[in-house]
């Protein structure tokens, strides 16, 4: 690759100018991103997520709403690809709980564990506004992951004390959530239900079904 190619690319990034892309950009609808954004609990071991991919995903946080615009969330990443954080990935895997509703399956199956995580911290004490920011942040990052051809899952069931102690980040930073990212190997289907039906997700013949209350029951 000619040296001046990289120089030009860097100059483009610095000036904010982008070379005109003559190829037609395919429109990706928010509905298709939302549909693909299923909580994934099994990942392709052959696909190793990079630090850069996680940073790209976390960058979504520079464009989202935040209560009083205080932007109190901070992020720590761990990937298997990075030798410095490879052990952290194993530590996190041992301290999370996946699919609490299907304990008999003991997910994730051996060999399909996530190989990349984002830990979301808050730099202020937990409050309802911190949690609102957390939800917006988590969903934005997951949608960004889908846009990159990846998948993920929010993990609230993790050993908070152990994670806090292990990473020893600044004292005021509280770990709120862990997000796993990777290439999904799961077959996940949405199942429309009425509000009176069972909301629990379940598995049948290798398919993970996620019941979702239909629109007519959501409107009051």
User: Exactly one of 118, 155, 163, 179 binds ligand FMN (CB under 6 A); which one?
Assistant: 155
Distances (CA, A) of 189 to 32, 38, 184, 186, 206: 13, 9, 13, 10, 11
Which residue among 78, 98, 179, 180 contacts ligand FMN (CB under 6 A)? 98
> Binding pattern to ligand FMN, positions 46-85, x when CB under 6 A?
----------------------------------------
- The three state secondary structure string of 136-168 is HHHHHHHHHHHHCCCEEEEECCECHHHHHHHHC
User: Does residue 157 bind ligand FMN (CB under 6 A)?
Assistant: yes
Q: Looking at the DSSP assignment, which residues form a beta bridge with residue 122?
A: 73, 174
CA distances from 53 to 76, 169, 170, 180, 211 (A): 13, 22, 25, 12, 30
Burial (0-12, 13-18, 19+ Cβ within 10 Å), 150? buried
- Contact region with ligand FMN (CB under 6 A), list: 73-81, 86-94, 96-104, 115-123: 96-104
39 lies in the binding site for ligand FMN (CB under 6 A): yes
**Residue nearer to ligand FMN on the CB measure, 49 or 153:** 153
Tell me if 123 sits within 8 A of 172, measured CB to CB: yes
Binding residues with ligand FMN: total (CB under 6 A): 14
Judged by CB under 6 A, does residue 99 bind ligand FMN?
A: yes
Residue nearest to ligand FMN (CB): 157
Residue 6, interface with ligand FMN (CB under 6 A)? Answer: no
Interface positions with ligand FMN (CB under 6 A): 38-39, 41, 97-100, 153-157, 201, 210
């Amino acid at each position: 690759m000619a040296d001046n190619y990289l120089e030009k690319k860097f100059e483009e990034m610095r000036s904010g100018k982008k070379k005109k892309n003559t190829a037609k950009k395919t429109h990706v609808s928010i509905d298709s991103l939302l549909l693909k954004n299923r909580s994934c609990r099994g990942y392709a071991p052959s696909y190793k997520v990079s630090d850069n991919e996680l940073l790209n995903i976390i960058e979504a946080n520079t464009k989202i709403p935040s209560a009083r615009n205080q932007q109190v969330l901070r992020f720590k990443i761990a990937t298997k690809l990075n030798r410095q954080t490879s052990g952290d990935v194993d530590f996190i895997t041992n301290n999370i709980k996946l699919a609490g509703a299907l304990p008999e399956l003991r997910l994730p199956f051996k060999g399909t564990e996530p190989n990349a995580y984002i830990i979301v911290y808050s730099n202020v004490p937990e409050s309802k506004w911190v949690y609102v920011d957390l939800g917006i942040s988590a969903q934005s990052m997951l949608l960004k992951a889908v846009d990159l051809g990846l998948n993920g899952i929010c993990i609230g069931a993790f050993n908070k004390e152990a994670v806090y102690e292990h990473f020893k980040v600044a004292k005021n930073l509280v770990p709120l959530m862990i997000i796993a990212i990777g290439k999904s190997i799961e077959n996940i289907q949405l199942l429309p239900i009425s509000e009176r039906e069972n909301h629990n997700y379940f598995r049948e013949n290798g398919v993970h079904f996620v019941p979702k209350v239909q629109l007519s029951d959501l409107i009051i």
